[in-house]
Amino acid sequence: MSVKPGSGLGGPRGWPKAFAPVAGPLLLAVLGTAGAQDLGAYNAVARSLDAAYEARNTSAAAALTQLDRASEAMKQLDPTLRNRQIAGGISDALTGARAALARTPAEVQAQILLARGLMRRALQDQTLTLLAGASANGDAQLRVLAREFGLSAAGAQALTADARAGRLERVAWRLQRSAAQNVSAALAAARPVRSGAAYLNLARATGWFTVVQNAQGVGTLTVTQFTDALGQLTAGDTAALGQSLTALRSGTASLNRSLVTAASTVSTPPPSTPLPPPATPAADPDPVDPAPTPAAQGSQGTQTGQNGAALGGAAQSGTAQGMDGVYGALGRALNAASHADGPTVRTALSAANSALARTPEAVRSDSGYSDLVQDLTAAQDRQALRPTDIQALIGEVGNLERRVAGEPVSALNAASAGVARSFGGWLRVGIFALLALLAFVPLYLLNLAFGGRNTYWRAIAGGLVLLLLPLLLEGLMGLLGAIGDAAGVGFLRSATNFTLTQGAYGLPLWALTSALAIGLTAFGFRGLCEQFGLIGKHTVAENATHQSLDWDEEV
């Protein structure tokens, strides 16, 4: 989205000021005192904020309704938050979201992302404190934490197992690693441009960093650096923003490497508890195991020849399992695109981006990962998304998965991804609208040259109209659909459903119109051939023949 002067992104009410009331709590490193949160109220606030985030794209009134519900639920949650500064920060973010309703949707959504980040931080701190006193009583909190941090089913099981075994350092490490990966994904999608997408990606990175800011290896990375970058974005200082993004990505990469290294220092299971096999579905989807002892290395070395193929197959299976969340989100996006539900498509693409950030390290370290993140982010900002756009993204995910597995990639998928990057959105809409308009030129000239009195010429003209019908529908309905998507008008957005390229239902219609076109043009040209004496018996009356040849004599 473009940013206009005074929209809130560039005005005095932009992000730096919005962050000022909560800068203090974001920089604190103090755990709350013992005590559990009201999980029912927490879930109610989370659901309402997430609903407000999605609703603001289409309706400020609907977003306000959800924010009112979040505020009511916050009244129940607030007394159970032990860190009062974080509680104040959440309340300030809710107030800021309400105040931003009259401005850009991105500003409302950014305030919501801030509130969600603070909620996760408070839930994490209080849960760890609760577990330190009674590790058997935190299952409900752990389930909410696993959901909030986007852990897979296997990751949630591993989190609960560590908590029950009293390995709180490993519980914290798993949560910090997930948060750091989300910071990296948001920063990878951010671009040094003054746009709503960059604004939200930086806000998302900031919200997640509040959770991990006290992790081992965070180094000199601070919330202030994130807010400074947001200030540069609102001021339009893209040169400084580019430098800040580079520094933030470098610092986050160091943090992720430090968390990988820290895996060998956190608590490990006691000797009496058998370790899980190296690659089983029940293990953490992205395990980082402590370095093996020399004896273990020797034992593993003697088994490498026997089990190499099996371990390789298990690694590929783990990679595929980690990509299931990405495929699932893109499947929902494809379903929404097939009936022109643009807002749902963009929501699903955002979910796919988040799921991609939680894939195994082998995927995230591949050279194609950053390109895929960039394409997913760009698609979220594009208008008039069509099923072919999502299919190209799915093909790109498939190529990434195959490359990680050491298999040859599909050249067709790569070509489709390249075309989708350059030929989509308003460019595609404009080109097809122009071609549809130009299609009337030969039809007009045909009618001007031969008129409409001759039955055979009329049949030929009708056949040409049917042959051009897919182009005409794509141009007109595609344009109306794009306008409806940009303006948030549902009935206009659904106009693309009347094109013959929107779904499988268009193929039989295309076949039918093509068959009619072939029949009409064949009938028309055969009649002309009979009139000219090229086929059949020359039995046409002489005056009719002269009439049919008038056009030739004039030429």
* 292-295-297 Cα angle (round to 5): 50
d(CA 318, CA 304): 19
Neighbours of 278 (CB within 10 A): 13
User: 437-464: per-residue pLDDT in tens?
Assistant: 999 999 899 888 887 678 898 999 999 9
**pLDDT of residue 407 exceeding 60:** yes
Amino acid identity for residue 284 in this structure: D
345 — alpha (psi -120 to 50), left (phi > 0) or beta? Answer: alpha
Least-confidence region, from 145-149, 245-249, 272-276, 470-474: 272-276
pLDDT at residue number 137: 61
266 phi/psi in degrees, rounded to 5? -75, 165
By three-state DSSP, how is residue 2 classified? strand
User: 473-525: per-residue pLDDT in tens?
Assistant: 999 999 999 999 988 888 899 999 999 999 899 999 999 999 999 999 999 99
CA distances (Å), origin 129, targets 104, 208, 239: 39, 20, 43
pLDDT at residue number 209: 92
**pLDDT of residue 18 exceeding 60:** no
pLDDT band for position 72 (50/70/90)?
very high
**pLDDT of residue 467 exceeding 90:** yes
513-536: b (≥16 Cβ within 10 Å) or e:
beeebeebbebbeebbebbeeeee
Joined together, the tokens standing for residue 85 give 């500064």
pLDDT at residue number 105: 85
Alpha-helical segments (H) within 358-454 = 361-364, 369-380, 387-404, 411-422, 425-438, 440-450
pLDDT at residue number 216: 77
d(CA 236, CA 240): 9
524 neighbors 463 (Cβ within 8 angstroms): yes
pLDDT band for position 290 (50/70/90)?
very low
Task: State the DSSP string of 83-108.
Answer: -HHHHHHHHHHHHHHHHGGGS-HHHH
pLDDT at residue number 135: 54
**pLDDT of residue 32 exceeding 70:** no
More confident residue, 232 or 31: 232
More confident residue, 395 or 37: 395
361 neighbors 333 (Cβ within 8 angstroms): no
More confident residue, 363 or 309: 363
Q: How far is CA 407 from the centre of its chain?
A: 26
**pLDDT of residue 300 exceeding 60:** no
Least-confidence region, from 97-101, 293-297, 522-526, 547-551: 293-297
pLDDT at residue number 217: 78
**pLDDT of residue 303 exceeding 90:** no
pLDDT at residue number 322: 63
Report field, pTM of the whole predicted structure over 0.95: no
**pLDDT of residue 261 exceeding 90:** no
Q: Which of 120, 121, 101 is nearest to 111 (CA)?
A: 101
Q: Which of 194, 189, 188 is nearest to 237 (CA)?
A: 194
**pLDDT of residue 414 exceeding 50:** yes
Least-confidence region, from 28-42, 197-211, 465-479, 508-522: 28-42
pLDDT at residue number 446: 86
Q: Which of 262, 233, 267, 268 is nearest to 248 (CA)?
A: 233
**pLDDT of residue 15 exceeding 50:** no
Q: Which of 457, 455, 435 is nearest to 446 (CA)?
A: 457
pLDDT at residue number 263: 63
> Mean per-residue pLDDT for 308-331?
59
d(CA 35, CA 243): 42
d(CA 518, CA 286): 58
pLDDT at residue number 294: 32
pLDDT at residue number 389: 94
pLDDT at residue number 553: 41
35 neighbors 80 (Cβ within 8 angstroms): yes
Q: Which of 479, 474, 317, 287 is nearest to 404 (CA)?
A: 317
User: 36-71: per-residue pLDDT in tens?
Assistant: 688 889 999 999 998 888 888 788 888 899 999 999
Q: Of the ranges 107-121, 215-229, 295-309, which is most confident?
A: 107-121
> Mean per-residue pLDDT for 202-217?
88
**pLDDT of residue 3 exceeding 90:** no
Task: Provide, rounded to the nearest whole percent, the portion of the chain with pLDDT above 70.
Answer: 78
CA distances (Å), origin 314, targets 174, 283, 310, 541: 22, 12, 6, 83
pLDDT at residue number 264: 56
